Amino acid sequence: MIGLVVPALLTAAWELTSRLGLVPPNLLPAPSIVLSALVELARSGELLAHVEVTVVRVLAGFLLGTAAATALGALTGTSRLWFRLLDPLLQGLRSIPSIAWVPLFILWLGIFEASKVTLIAVGAFFPVYLSLVTGIRQVDRKLIEVGRAYGYGGLALVRRVLLPATLPSYVTGLRGGLGLGWMFVVAGELMGASEGLGFLLLDGQMTGRPAIILGSILLFALLGKASDLALAALGQRLLAWQDVVRTDVADQRRLQAV
């Protein structure tokens, strides 16, 4: 709960600044006004429809990009030949800004769902790919030798040694890919969308409603954080076997007691 202290203080300062008239309300409406605008949209059912469309797009693009990144990352991470063939190309593509893909995807796939999901998949692909390849190539050689000494080979070596050693880096890449997926969905929904939070944000700009713009931004932040927390919780369950240093207060006290 301590993580809510700073956002609460910032919201209070924002509300006070707006109510005192230090900032024009047409530029920065108070949080209470933003909340009222979102409540009105929610009552009409419009807000839920926009949120649902955006969440489905992010989920579809994230799953598609993660699947492709996992396959190519495993291939290039375990094969020196494929690493030399594919990694330079993929690293070059990684440097292309997200907005640069938009005209090409519109030309190839049109302005409907395919282009938007593909753009999100591109955003999710590179963090997952980079983390997986890095994790595989940085596995301690001694771990592999110990695994072979215990008779592991082939799939058994992958399952018992390579997979656990690579999993922490892979989970980090998944979280990074999901975060970029939420960023890329905005670019995707600005290219001819009629639904979604990105469309709602653009509609607020076109109609001069700053409360709708700020409300859309806040919803992106909340949904992104909620999805990241869910993925982080899943990662903790998958990595529960790790014996790592904990930095929270309770663990520090236990270490001091020992």
Domain at 126, CATH number: 1.10.3720.10
- Tokens 């001069």, residue? 208
Residue 62 is encoded by which pair of tokens? 């994230």
Instruction: Please identify every stretch of the chain with a pLDDT value under 50, giving residue numbers as ranges.
Output: 255
Residue 31 maps to a domain: no
Give the separation between CA 205 and CA 241, rounded to whole angstroms.
49
Q: How far apart are CA 129 and CA 60, in angstroms?
A: 17
- Is residue 2 one of the residues assigned to a domain? no
In a domain, 32, yes or no: no
30, part of any domain: no
Domain count, the chain: 1
In which domain, by residue range, is 176 found?
A: 39-239
Residue 7 Cα distances to 4, 12, 197, angstroms: 5, 9, 22
Residue 8 lies in a domain: no
- Residue 188's pLDDT is what? 86
Per-residue pLDDT at 130: 95
In a domain, 5, yes or no: no
Looking at residue 245, its pLDDT comes to 65
Residue 247 lies in a domain: no
125 is a domain residue: yes
Q: pLDDT tens for residues 118-162?
A: 999 999 999 999 999 999 988 888 888 888 888 877 777 777 888
